[in-house]
Amino acid sequence: MHARNCLACVLPPYLLDHLAKHGHARLRTLAQNSLALDNQLRLRRTAIGRASTTLATARNTPPGQISRHVHTAESGSQLPGRLIRAEGQATTGDVAADEAYAYLGATYELFWEVFQRHSIDGAGLPLIGTVHYGQNYENAFWNGEQMVFGDGDGEIFNRFTIAIDIVGHELAHGVIEHETSLAYKGQSGALNESLADVFGTLVKQYHAKHSVEQADWLIGVGLFTDEVKATALRSMKAPGSAYDDPALGKDPQPGHMRDYVDTTEDNGGVHINSGIPNRAFYLAATAIGGYAWEKSGRIWYEALCDEGLWDTADFSQFAALTVDVAERLYGVGVEQQSVRQAWVDVGVIA
Amino acid sequence: MSTLPPLDQATQINLSREGGVAFLPGQRNSCSIALGSCSEDERARIRQALLSAAPKAQAADEAGRGDQRYFVILINFNDDAATEDVRLHVGEQEAPEELIRLWRERTGRR
Ligand SMILES: [Zn+2]
């Protein structure tokens, strides 16, 4: 056996687990032995993990009280980086830091004032953000503990804090993760992404006090520079219409099940097929009318928190859940019918 | 005792970077490395990058969670190896320096 070059010596636990269940008999033995060792390590890690969670809980705030901590990575990749604006402190003059602070605030407001949810975990978890991550970094993400925003390259992308709904989207990933562990692939992954867009756009609409008619239903307006032909990252109203440019390609989002994209890229199209449930939300919200956060937002939020939302939920299971929730909240009426019709119109239910 | 094939039996590596808050078809990027056409030094560096990346690999439906970017490494083996291709997903934040350097050299991307 080539000890130095042997992949099996360095393979991660999940692959060993897979081999232990599905591999050849002799491979299985090897994998099982490695797993036994790894489980001991894992137990130790869990103990360490608990200790740090306890620390985080100690800093939680009373209901209704927000706690923001905006850091700068100073173009590096160490997280969270250097704290530049803590809760209650004055503006810094750093545009990205002040945007992050303001939009984390707007996101907290939506969840607290509309859904009575006290931060990401419902128990006042401090909101940790880092700006100026990496060099010309073209992304924003939630890493399981905090939100991270790049500055963009300035040629295609502007800074990622420029769009309130992107900040809302990333924080919503934290909320979604606390409520469900929707597998990040295929339809359940696309639901995960769609929910982040739904709450991201609700943050934007609630902040602007826009009705369903006034809202633009676009995700990430301002993110692209004038150099590219793009209005936004995604359109919930008309998926597939957000951009068409040589550097970006054409927006690949479908708005109907007949155009569902089967792919291995993008975790099985999680940011692609999210167009379908996104459009369902748009259709339901506009049919119900008024402010989207009042009824359709409430229905989607209750569905997210419902115990009936499984890790492996597909579009039709989520659709059925939203119809049930609409009936539970508002009876059999225009709300329930609008939600049902929206899912019919995007081809998810018959 | 049988084991997974040694990397000496790998013929080709495909490296791509995926994930992020949106899927932009025009921004796809990947590279292919035919190990047979690499010098012994290059092969050693590539092997080192793979060996340091492999322990960091995540399950396919864990990588990318919350819009995080990740590398997908596909390793093809020759017929003697009697194995299927190996596909590894390595989160950008966990990716070892050797892998990032290889990525930058081969694709010219940051
Ligand atoms: Zn996302």
A124-173 pLDDT, tens digit per residue, is 999 999 999 999 999 999 999 999 999 999 999 999 999 999 999 999 99
User: Does residue A184 contact residue A203 with C-beta atoms inside 8 Å?
Assistant: no
Taking CB atoms and an 8 Å limit, are A1 and B1 in contact across chains?
yes
Rounded to whole angstroms, the Cα distance separating B108 from B17 reads: 13
DSSP per-residue codes, A27-92: HHHHHHHHHHHHHHHHHHHHHHHHHHHHHHHHTPPPTT---EEEEE-TTS--SS-EEEEETTPPP-
Contact between A194 and A253 (Cβ < 8 Å): no
Q: How confident is the model at residue A291 (pLDDT cuts 50, 70, 90)?
A: very high
Q: What are the pLDDT digits (tens) for B62-104?
A: 899 999 999 999 999 887 776 778 899 999 999 999 999 999 9
Of the listed ranges A71-85, A215-229, A264-278, B6-20, the one predicted with least confidence: B6-20
Say whether residue A250 is in contact with chain B using an 8 A CB cutoff: yes
Q: What is the mean pLDDT of residues A243-253?
A: 97
Element (H, E) at A325: helix A315-330
Range scoring the smallest mean pLDDT among A50-54, A77-81, A96-100, B34-38: A50-54
Kindly list the residues from chain B whose CB atom is less than 8 angstroms away from the CB atom of residue A270.
Answer: 64
Tell whether the model's pLDDT for residue A33 goes beyond 50.
no
Q: What is the CATH number of domain A186-345?
A: 1.10.390.10
Domain extents in chain A: 3-179, 186-345
pLDDT above 50 (res A27) = no
pTM of the model: 0.88
Is residue A280 a contact partner of residue A261, using CB atoms and an 8 Å limit? no
CA distance B19 to chain A (A): 6
* Unique residue bearing structure tokens 């137990």: A43
Cα separation of A241 and A232, whole Å?
9
CB A80 within 8 A of CB A69: yes
pLDDT of A312 above 50: yes
How far apart are the CA of A185 and the nearest CA of chain B, in angstroms? 5
Residue of chain A with shortest Cα separation from B62: A184
Contact A141 B69 (CB under 8 A): yes
Query: What is the DSSP code string of B47-72?
Result: HHHHHHHGGG-B-TTTTTGGG-EEEE
Contacts of A90 (CB under 8 A, 6+ apart): none
Using an 8 Å CB-CB cutoff, list chain A residues near B103: none
Report the pLDDT value the prediction gives residue A11, as an integer from 0 to 100.
61
Whether B61 and A189 lie within 8 Å, measured CB to CB: yes
How many contiguous H segments (helices) and E segments (strands) does chain B have?
A: 2, 4
Fold assignment, A3-179: Elastase; domain 1 (3.10.170)
Query: Phi and psi at residue A327, in whole multiples of 5°?
Result: -70, -40
Cα gap A6→A3, rounded to integer Å: 5
- State mean pLDDT over A306-318: 96
Q: What is the pLDDT of residues A200-244, one digit of tens each?
A: 999 999 999 999 999 999 999 999 999 999 999 999 999 999 999
pLDDT at A16: 53
What percent of chain A shows pLDDT beyond 90? 82
CA of A328, closest CA in chain B: separation in Å?
A: 30
Mean pLDDT of A22-42: 45
Task: Respond yes or no: is residue A170 known to be catalytic.
Answer: yes
A213 tagged catalytic: no
Q: What was the ipTM of the complex prediction?
A: 0.91
The tally of CA atoms less than 13 A away on the side-chain side of residue B40 is: 0
